[in-house]
Structure 1
């Protein structure tokens, strides 16, 4: 691994971590495009790597800060448990589907989804 690659990984990791803690994004919105553009990974490789980075220990401190903030924190743990269980199942199903899709098509699907989200965030109150 070259020094340039290591520096790129450090920048991607810091950006994704800061944005994850700041606005709740990081994996798909930040890391996947940066892995593709700056490291030359395929869409499949970038998505898999993004998911691997977000394994449970990675978000522990960010979740802890939200949990301890204010009176009682900002996390409804009942909702978190339900969604995380279904996220676990959905992630398995989604990854199986993604690996069957051509990477060019997967990039387009990913890009359209990001555009839709961006437009809704910009133009809704």
Structure 2
């Protein structure tokens, strides 16, 4: 990807938006970043998903989690977090292997349907 000023500004926008929404409503950064990487940067679905995962490699939401922990005292069950994060690592490995075997167009459709189902559930739930 060529790093033009427009590209850099777009990356800044995507990073800030994904970070703010992740901290604000707890959405996964991939739900925000993947579609924006595809729409604004023209990446393929595979490239966008890989880049989204690469962005989350650093201590993913360390400062956001710290704020919740500090404000809520015991609001985070660290045992549950450890179990889920361990399995998340394993699942991420398995999921990435599967995603790389799926055709680009089909992967994009799967991603879109997943987002649609979640959106509909959120909109119509109490």
Give, in whole Å, the separation in 1 of the partners of 2:34 and 2:82.
Answer: 26
Structure 2 stretches lacking a partner, 5+ long: none
Q: Which runs of 4+ in 1 moved over 3 A?
A: none
Partner secondary structure for residue 111 of structure 1: helix
Shift, 1:74, TM fit = 2.1
TM-score, normalising length: structure 1? 0.95
TM-score, normalising length: structure 2? 0.95
User: Which residue number corresponds to residue 119 of structure 2?
Assistant: 118
User: Which residue number corresponds to residue 88 of structure 2?
Assistant: 87
Give, in whole Å, the separation in 2 of the partners of 1:53 and 1:105.
Answer: 24
Partner secondary structure for residue 25 of structure 1: coil
User: Which residue number corresponds to residue 41 of structure 1?
Assistant: 43
Structure 1 stretches lacking a partner, 5+ long: none
Cα contact 1:98–1:106 (8 A) shared by 2: yes
Partner secondary structure for residue 57 of structure 1: coil
Give, in whole Å, the separation in 2 of the partners of 1:11 and 1:49.
Answer: 15
Shift, 1:26, TM fit = 4.1
State which drifts further: 53-62 or 9-18: 53-62
Q: How many residues align?
A: 124
User: Which residue number corresponds to residue 17 of structure 1?
Assistant: 19
